Structure 1
Amino acid sequence: AIADVPWFVALGGPLDREARRRGQTVYLPDRRIPLHPEVLSEGVASLLPDQDTPAFVWVLDLDGIGEIRGIGLERSRVRSVQKLAYEEVQAELDRGEGHPMMVLLQEIGALRARQESVRGGASLNVPEQEVVEEGERLHLGWRRPHPIGDANAQISLMTGMAAAQLMLEHGAGILRTMPPAQAQAMDRFRRQAEALRIPWPTGQAYGEFLRSLDWQDPAHLALLNHATSLFRGASYAAFTSADEIPEDTVQAAIAAPYAHATAPLRRLVDRFVLLVCHAHVQGRAPDPDLLAALGEIPEAMRGSGARAGELERAALDLVEAAALATWQGETFAATVIDRREGKQAEGAAPTRVEVQLTDPPVTAWVPMDADLGAVVRVRLESVDTAARHAEFVAADGVRS
C-alpha cells in the first residue's frame, strides 16, 4: 500500500505547482524541507497506525522462485495497525519469534535477491553515515542495514519493476534509468580488487561479487568505496507513446527496467508514475493533462536532486567538523580507501590518500602514501567549523 497523494494534490492545482518546484523532500540534520505540507506528509496522507488513509494498493502475484506473474493496482482505503522498527523486527526474527508476515517478507526478500543475482543486478553493502540528534546535540554514527531491511527494499524494487513493466507495455510513463558501467571503469575496478588481494572468480557477475564483500573488512571497505564509480549516470526518461520509449530502458544496477513508485510523499515523480500505472491497469488512457505534464518531471527531479545533494553534503561537512572539534590533536586508526599520485613539479600537490575512520565515521584526504586497504594512523591536526573543514596528517608516518 502506497500513500494516495493525488487524492489530496489535484493535478495543476497550487499544491501540484509548488511540489513541481520543490521536486523532493530535503533532509537536514535537524529538520526537513518537505515536498508537501506536513499536514499531509506527516498526517492525513501518511499510512499512520489507527487511521483510515487513501492508498494505491499493489497486488503482485509471484511464483515459487519469486518472479512476478501478475500485476494489479487499485485505489482503496487502508488502516495500518502497527508501526514497526527494523531493529525490533530483526531481533524477533533472530530469536525465532517473528510475526508470520515478517517471516514471509524475509522469504520473499531472499527469493527476490536471488532473482537480482540471476539478472546480473548489483547492490552496495555499505553502511551509511548519519547524523544522530540527541536532545540539543548532534553526533555522527553508522546506519547499518538489517537483513529484514534488505528484504523490504526488495519489495520496493519489485514494485518499481512492476510499474516499469506496465508503462512499457502501454507506451506511457517515466522510467528511472542508469547506463551500464563503462568497460574502462569495470577494468579499473577489477584491477583494484587484484591490488587489494580480493579474489574475483572468473565468470562471477560483479553484482554477485559485490554481495560477497564485507564492509567490516578494511580491504573490502576500500573496494566497496571504489564500486561507487560503477553506479553513475542515473536519470529519468519520460514518454507518452510507444514511439517515444527510450532506446535503453534498463536501470543497470537493477539490471531491469525500473521506476520510482513507492515514495510519493517525498518524491515528485512517484505520484505521476502511480497515476499513469493506475490508468494502464484500469484499461484506459491516462488523462491528457497528466500526459502533458510527464515531460516536465525529469528536469524537475534532476534540478531538485542536485540542490538536495549539495545541501546535504554541506550539512554533513558542517556536522563532521563540529563533531571533530573536541578531538583535535587525537590519533585515529583509519583504512585507506583511495590514493592520488602527487606531481613532481615544484609546488605541486603531494601524494594523498583518502582514509575512512570508523569512530567517528568520517572520511578525509591526508598528505601521505599508503596502499589501498592498508590500516594507517592519522592525527587530527586542526578543525575549522566555519569553513566546514578538518585537517588530518600522518601520525609520525606510522602504519597500523
Structure 2
Amino acid sequence: MPRRHLSVRTAGTARIDSELAGLRARMELPESWLAEVLAEVEQTAREPRLPSYDATALPLFTIDPPDSMDLDQAMHLERRGSGYRVHYAIADVDAFVRPGGAIDAEARRRVETLYFPDLRVPLHPPQLSEGAASLLPGQDVPALLWQLDLDADGALVRTDLRRALVRSRRRLEYAGVQAAIDEGTADEALALLGTVGPLREEREADRGGVSLPIPEQEIELAEGGYTLSYRAPRPADGWNAQISLLTGMAAAAMMLDAGIGLLRTLPAAPESAYARLRRTAGALGVDWPAELPYPQLIRSLNPNRPAHAAFLNECTGLLRGAAYTAFDGAAPADPRHSAVAAPYAHCTAPLRRLADRFAGEVCAAVAAGDPVPDWVRRALPEIPKLMETGDRRAHEVERACVDLVEAELLRGREGEVFDGVVVDVDEKKPQSGTVQLHAPAVRAKLSDDRPGATPLPLGTRLRVRLTAADPSKPVIRFAPA
C-alpha cells in the first residue's frame, strides 16, 4: 500500500528482531516446514493439475506492494459495448495442494499468513506461494478466472468462472498505477481501472456500503532499523479493492444460489451503537443532520481533519462481529455483510488465507455444473472456527509488532512533549483515552491522573508528555502536557 512517511527516528533492528523472535516462540509459531510438506511441494510444483482452457493470451496485470511475491490476483479490464468486462484471475491453490495431504494439513494448522517486520510466517511454503502458484509475470499458472460483465453504470450483469491457464504480463504497484492514471499515461486496460473503480464506489454508495478511510500504522524497514508511518490510501487502492469486492459479492451470490458455501458476514450494528456515534459526532462538532444516512456522512468526512479522524476511529466499533458463516442446504438467516451492504465472500487471497481456497472450490464446482467435492463439503463446517482462531492470532501479531516498535522508538524519551490528537475517550473514565501522535506514527494510552482533571477533549489537538516507554513489556503512556 502507498505510504506517507511521518517518522524520523528509527528503532534498531537487533533489539527488535530479538523481541520478535521471542514473540514467535511464545506464540509457538512454526519457523520451518515438515519434511513431508517439502517433499510434497517439490513434487506438486513440478506437476500441478493443469486446466484444459488456455487463457495465456489475456494480458493480465497485478497490483501489489513492491516487495510482495505471493501474488493472488491479476486483472484485465476492457470495454464491452456501453459497459465493461473485468477478467480477474485468482491463484488456483487446489492445482498444487492435494486434499488430505501434507500441505493441506499444514495449511489448516497455519490458517493464514502472518506478517512480521523481519519475516513472514506463510500459509503455504514459499516454493508455492511465492513461486509456482504465484501470479508472477511471465510464468504460466493455473487460476480461477472470473469474467464479470458490467453495464454502463458499473452494475454486475453477468458472471462466468472457469479454471484456466493464465500468464500475467505486468507487475504494478499502487503509486505507479495512481501516477499513470492521473498523468494520462496508462494504457486502456489500466486506465479503465480509473473508470470502473469509481463506478463501483458509486454502486457501493447506492447499496449503503461503507469503507472507512482511516490511515493505519505501518512498520517499515528503514536505514539502520525500523520506523513507523501512517498508511495513507490513494484512490487507486480503493479502485483495486472494489474489483476484489465485486468478485467476493459475485461469489457469494453464486454460493447462495447453489445452497452451499462460505460467506463473510457482519450483522447490522444495533441502534444503540448509532445513538452513541451521534453523541460522539455532537461532541466533536461533526455535522450529522438527522436525515443524512450514515454511509453518506462517512463519505463527506476528511480523515486529515482531527475531529473527523477521531469520529472515523469511533466508527470502527460498528464493524465488530464479522465472522465466517458456512452453510450446506438452507442459507443463513442473515447472509449479508453490513459494511458491504450485500452478501459477500472472501475468495481472492487463497495463497494467504485458508477460507478463500474453499470458497473458490465451491464456486468453481457450481460454475462448471459439477457437484461440490466431498472433501470441500466435509471441511466447510470447521473452517469458520479455524478462521476465527487465525484472525485472532493475526491481530495479536500485528498489535504486538506495532507495540514493540512504538516502545523502542520512544525508549529513553520520557518527559518529551509531542503533538497529538485525542482519538478515543473512555466513556466510563473520560480522563483516559487514546492519543494519536503526528510524528512518530504512534497511537498510545493517554491519561490525566491529576486530582480534579477534566475529561479529555475528544477530536482535539493536544500537547502530550511521554510518561513511560518500556519495550520489555511493552508499555507506552502519555499525559496531557
TM class by shorter chain equals over 0.9
Structure 1 residue 326: deviation in Å?
Answer: 5.4
**Residue aligning to 2:93:** 5
The answer to whether the Cα contact below 8 Å between 1:342 and 1:351 also exists between their aligned partners in 2 is no
The answer to whether structure 1 residue 260 and structure 2 residue 346 are counterparts is yes
The answer to whether the Cα contact below 8 Å between 1:109 and 1:155 also exists between their aligned partners in 2 is yes
- Would you say how many aligned residue pairs link Structure 1 and Structure 2? 387
Cα offsets for 1:342-371 (capped at 9, x unmatched):
76xxxxxx8223211121111122222332
1:48 aligned to which of 126, 133, 136: 136
The code of the aligned residue for 2:399 comes to R
**Residue aligning to 2:272:** 184
Structure 1 residue 266: deviation in Å?
Answer: 0.2
For 2:290 and 2:355, locate their aligned partners in 1 and report how far apart those are by CA, in whole Å.
39
Cα offsets for 1:71-98 (capped at 9, x unmatched):
1111111111111011111112222222
Structure 1 residue 135: deviation in Å?
Answer: 4.7
The answer to whether structure 1 residue 90 and structure 2 residue 178 are counterparts is yes
Alignment of 1:136-155 (within 5 A): 137-155=225-243
The answer to whether the Cα contact below 8 Å between 2:412 and 2:469 also exists between their aligned partners in 1 is no
1:339 aligned to which of 417, 425, 430: 425
TM-score (norm 2): 0.78
| Structure 2: gaps (5+ residues) | 1-88, 449-454
For 1:341 and 1:269, locate their aligned partners in 2 and report how far apart those are by CA, in whole Å.
36
For 1:171 and 1:267, locate their aligned partners in 2 and report how far apart those are by CA, in whole Å.
23
**Residue aligning to 1:99:** 187
Aligned identity (percent) is 48
**Residue aligning to 2:447:** 367
For 2:293 and 2:246, locate their aligned partners in 1 and report how far apart those are by CA, in whole Å.
21
Indicate the RMSD between aligned Cα atoms, in angstroms. Answer: 1.4
Call closer, same or farther: CA 1:208–1:184 in 2, change over 3 Å.
Answer: same
The answer to whether the Cα contact below 8 Å between 1:26 and 1:308 also exists between their aligned partners in 2 is yes
Structure 1 residue 282: deviation in Å?
Answer: 0.8
Cα offsets for 1:56-84 (capped at 9, x unmatched):
11000111111111111111111111110
Structure 1 residue 32: deviation in Å?
Answer: 1.0
Structure 1 residue 50: deviation in Å?
Answer: 1.2
The answer to whether structure 1 residue 353 and structure 2 residue 353 are counterparts is no
1:81 aligned to which of 162, 169, 194: 169
For 1:267 and 1:28, locate their aligned partners in 2 and report how far apart those are by CA, in whole Å.
16
Call closer, same or farther: CA 1:202–1:341 in 2, change over 3 Å.
Answer: closer
Call closer, same or farther: CA 1:51–1:135 in 2, change over 3 Å.
Answer: farther
Call closer, same or farther: CA 1:135–1:52 in 2, change over 3 Å.
Answer: farther
For 1:43 and 1:356, locate their aligned partners in 2 and report how far apart those are by CA, in whole Å.
39
**Residue aligning to 1:128:** 216
The code of the aligned residue for 1:110 comes to P
- Greater shift after overlay, 354-363 or 218-227? 354-363
1:238 aligned to which of 326, 332, 335: 326
The answer to whether structure 1 residue 286 and structure 2 residue 372 are counterparts is yes
TM-score (norm 1): 0.94
2:200 aligned to which of 112, 121, 125: 112
Instruction: Tell me the SS of whatever aligns to 1:83.
Output: strand
Structure 1 residue 193: deviation in Å?
Answer: 0.9
Structure 1 residue 238: deviation in Å?
Answer: 0.7
For 2:427 and 2:262, locate their aligned partners in 1 and report how far apart those are by CA, in whole Å.
42
The answer to whether the Cα contact below 8 Å between 1:132 and 1:138 also exists between their aligned partners in 2 is yes
For 1:187 and 1:142, locate their aligned partners in 2 and report how far apart those are by CA, in whole Å.
30
- Greater shift after overlay, 329-338 or 5-14? 329-338
- Greater shift after overlay, 16-25 or 324-333? 324-333
For 1:279 and 1:263, locate their aligned partners in 2 and report how far apart those are by CA, in whole Å.
18
Structure 1 residue 146: deviation in Å?
Answer: 0.9
Cα offsets for 1:88-111 (capped at 9, x unmatched):
111122222222222211111111
| Structure 1: gaps (5+ residues) | 344-349, 396-400
Cα offsets for 1:100-129 (capped at 9, x unmatched):
222211111111111111111111001110
For 2:480 and 2:375, locate their aligned partners in 1 and report how far apart those are by CA, in whole Å.
60
**Residue aligning to 2:10:** none
Instruction: Tell me the SS of whatever aligns to 1:230.
Output: helix
**Residue aligning to 1:248:** 334
**Residue aligning to 2:463:** 377
The answer to whether the Cα contact below 8 Å between 1:380 and 1:392 also exists between their aligned partners in 2 is yes
The answer to whether the Cα contact below 8 Å between 1:178 and 1:253 also exists between their aligned partners in 2 is yes
The answer to whether the Cα contact below 8 Å between 1:341 and 1:351 also exists between their aligned partners in 2 is no
For 1:117 and 1:176, locate their aligned partners in 2 and report how far apart those are by CA, in whole Å.
20
1:19 aligned to which of 104, 107, 111: 107
For 1:178 and 1:205, locate their aligned partners in 2 and report how far apart those are by CA, in whole Å.
19
For 1:147 and 1:282, locate their aligned partners in 2 and report how far apart those are by CA, in whole Å.
35
The code of the aligned residue for 1:111 comes to L
For 1:31 and 1:300, locate their aligned partners in 2 and report how far apart those are by CA, in whole Å.
23
Alignment of 1:199-278 (within 5 A): 199-241=287-329, 243=330, 245-278=331-364
**Residue aligning to 2:16:** none
The code of the aligned residue for 1:197 comes to G
Call closer, same or farther: CA 1:342–1:174 in 2, change over 3 Å.
Answer: closer
Call closer, same or farther: CA 1:103–1:326 in 2, change over 3 Å.
Answer: farther
The answer to whether the Cα contact below 8 Å between 2:264 and 2:344 also exists between their aligned partners in 1 is yes
Cα offsets for 1:258-297 (capped at 9, x unmatched):
0001000000010011111011111121112221111111
